[in-house]
Structure 1
Amino acid sequence: MYKIATLCLFLMLSSSTLFALQNIQKDTSYTVNNSYHKYIKKFPQIDIVKPQKFENVYEIENIPFKTLENRRLYLDAFMNTSENNPAVILVHGGGWKSGDKSHMKPMAEYIASKGYSCFAIEYRLSDEAQYPEGIYDVKEAIQFIKSNAKKFHIDTTKVAVLGTSSGAQMATLVGTTNHNPKFEQQTEHASSTAVQAIVNLDGVIAFIHPKSSEGKMASWWLGGTSKEKPEIWKEASALTHVDKNTPPILFISSQYERFQAGREEMIHILDKHDIYNQVENFPDSPHTFWLFHPWFTDTVNYITTFLDKTLKHDEK
């Protein structure tokens, strides 16, 4: 309890330095409730997953991790009470334009209960900042978490990045650009941005691909259409960066093939380098299956089994 109290004091002191910051008007078109109403007619059995408290998990919300010119970015921490846990960074979806870190809370709570410290992070959406700023935000969140490893009970050599939908596209790009200087920025946090595992829930791997139908939302985030900015669309695609240094990856997919664009090609490269990868599919599910029962339990079980295999493999 002493360590928990110390962490809480540290975070309160950090928050006390907040200055008057501008409120950013966010796009709220993508919410859990909106997604529910979108799919309820086609999938009448669905039920929204609610947050759940676990005795071995303590939660601290809205921890500032990055100061911008006119505001700060925050993360929510869900920490297992055990020591030296693997860390999982969770990146929400919403077409790069909407969404909120709170959407990841039920998943973060469950994964944390299985022996992990989880962090649902905020990043700048496309109405505020276009690519690659959101990628920098995710990487700086990783640096901040590693820089506070003892306070967050994490092992900095065992870090996974997990994303859903557009957040999965971002998470996979973050994971495939480990140690890539083009995707690194000088920050106050000296820690590495490298991760050791990736979890992709229905996120495209290649923007320009026969299966992909990314259009207006991707164009807004990437600063132009694929014809106007072909090099940017290629650079922002995780498939471009897959090589022998790519971490193991878990793909969990809905029935919609467009969200699998580039997956087969990525798996081919991973197999060539003998890098572990795993694919799980829900053939009759909504795109946002992770938000709903009956798919949530299988989803988090796939994730924790994969993380145990890739991040806890040396534990007896």
Structure 2
Amino acid sequence: MKTKSLLLGGALLAVAVGHGQSGYTPRDTSYSIHSTYLKVKKDHPAVRPVYARSYEGVREDTNLVYASVEARRDLHLDVWYPKVRAGLRPGILMIHGGGWTTGSKENLHPMAQRLAAEGYVTVTPEYRLSAEAPYPAGVRDLKRAVRWMRAHAEEYGIDTSRIAAYGASAGAHLASLLGTTNELSRYDTPGTSNAYSDDVQAVLNIDGIVSFVHPDAEPEWSGKSANAWLGDYVLNYPRWREASPLEYVDEATPPFLFVNSSYPRFHAGREELIKKLNQYNTFSKVYTLENSPHGFWLLQPWFEPTVDHAVNFLREVFGPL
């Protein structure tokens, strides 16, 4: 895919061109592994960024079209999978963060590759951000990505009964929303066929909120990112509540893993969600990486502990490979 760069409002935008699209589709990619590294190293000078690399035994298929939306806009994803097929394996949809306004699927390539090296089939999708289409467009896109995984399960050796949603920051909120809206049609894309389920059987929440209306989420109420995605908090309060995963927890909600920094802002609603899970005897685990910044999953020394917590949780929930 070709790209053009535009300087808009002080932010560098990577603009996708082609793939059957009409005109330009701006995407703010200013939030990246490198930008996170530059920000964090001011207070943690020993940190190291983790970039994409090749792993022996892992194959990749990149920039596959998984859906088309308005104005012939194609949505793309990348797949990482073991070269040697040994039965069906769990699939993991990996959702990048960026405050619903910025970021790219490439930010989670290092983690997707690492988990694929552990034997999982990992998928990193793009989804529409707020500048292109506000809530609920991105949620609908990600639901379609789960359906794509089931539609291509035979090709990649995915066990359709073991699909997890992994998300970081805003992506963690979105992964949580996928998991708590299993069996609901609210985020179905109008006019599309739903031959495959969009349910997920586990959620890995890496430092993301699960309620926009919880008191700990107050920084979001006046923040530019959430307001760009959901609209003004006061005028659109019902939408903010509707977009909160905590509102949907029931007996159909799958197990949850939380891997968190020490910043309460990014835990909004977590304890209440766990209490609800406990009412249904649904498994959950929480790990806090002490003194870690938001964005820790992109950097060493926190990248490997995040991998370990994810793999251990997946083994507990899905069993051994």
Deviations 1:17-49 (A, max 9, x none): 953543312113212111111111101111001
In structure 1, list runs of 5 or more residues that go unmatched. 1-16
Deviations 1:104-124 (A, max 9, x none): 011001111111100001000
Letter in 2 for 1:73: L
SS at match of 1:187: coil
Within the candidate set 182, 189, 197, 1:192 is matched to 197
1:152 aligned residue: 156
Report if the CA contact (8 A) 2:33-2:50 is conserved: no
More strand by share: 2
Distance 2:19 2:42 in 1: 45
Distance 1:244 1:112 in 2: 30
Change in Cα spacing, 1:273 to 1:50, as seen in structure 2 (3 Å) is: same
* Aligned positions of 1:196-215 closer than 5 A: 196-212=201-217, 213-214=219-220, 215=223
1:80 aligned residue: 82
Distance 1:216 1:59 in 2: 36
Report if the CA contact (8 A) 2:254-2:282 is conserved: yes
1:293 aligned residue: 300
Asked if residue 219 in structure 1 is aligned to residue 220 in structure 2, the reply is no
Q: CA deviation at 1:254?
A: 0.5
Letter in 2 for 1:220: A
SS at match of 2:79: strand
SS at match of 2:39: helix
1:26 aligned residue: 27
Asked if residue 234 in structure 1 is aligned to residue 236 in structure 2, the reply is no
Distance 1:101 1:52 in 2: 15
Report if the CA contact (8 A) 2:20-2:74 is conserved: no
1:278 aligned residue: 285
Letter in 2 for 1:237: S
1:181 aligned residue: 185
Distance 1:312 1:63 in 2: 29
TM-score when normalising by structure 1: 0.91
Change in Cα spacing, 1:283 to 1:20, as seen in structure 2 (3 Å) is: closer
The percentage of counterpart residues that share the same residue type is: 39
Asked if residue 164 in structure 1 is aligned to residue 168 in structure 2, the reply is yes
Change in Cα spacing, 1:238 to 1:47, as seen in structure 2 (3 Å) is: same
Asked if residue 130 in structure 1 is aligned to residue 134 in structure 2, the reply is yes
Deviations 1:96-154 (A, max 9, x none): 00000001011001111111100001000000000001000000011011101111210
Letter in 2 for 1:72: D
Distance 1:31 1:18 in 2: 23
Q: Mean alpha-carbon deviation: is it higher for 106-115 or for 126-135?
A: 106-115
Q: What stretches of structure 1 move > 6 A for 4+ residues in a row?
A: none
Q: CA deviation at 1:291?
A: 0.3
Report if the CA contact (8 A) 1:108-1:118 is conserved: yes
1:3 aligned residue: none
2:36 aligned residue: 35
Within the candidate set 302, 306, 309, 2:313 is matched to 306
Deviations 1:28-81 (A, max 9, x none): 321211111111110111100122322221011101001122320000100123
Report if the CA contact (8 A) 1:144-1:189 is conserved: no
Report if the CA contact (8 A) 1:147-1:189 is conserved: no
Report if the CA contact (8 A) 1:22-1:70 is conserved: no
Q: CA deviation at 1:312?
A: 2.2
Distance 1:183 1:211 in 2: 26
Letter in 1 for 2:205: N
Q: What's the C-alpha RMSD, in Å, of the aligned pairs?
A: 1.4
1:71 aligned residue: 73
Letter in 2 for 1:64: V
Distance 1:139 1:66 in 2: 11
In structure 2, list runs of 5 or more residues that go unmatched. 1-17
Distance 1:228 1:276 in 2: 36
1:260 aligned residue: 267
SS at match of 1:183: coil
Distance 1:76 1:255 in 2: 31
Letter in 1 for 2:204: V
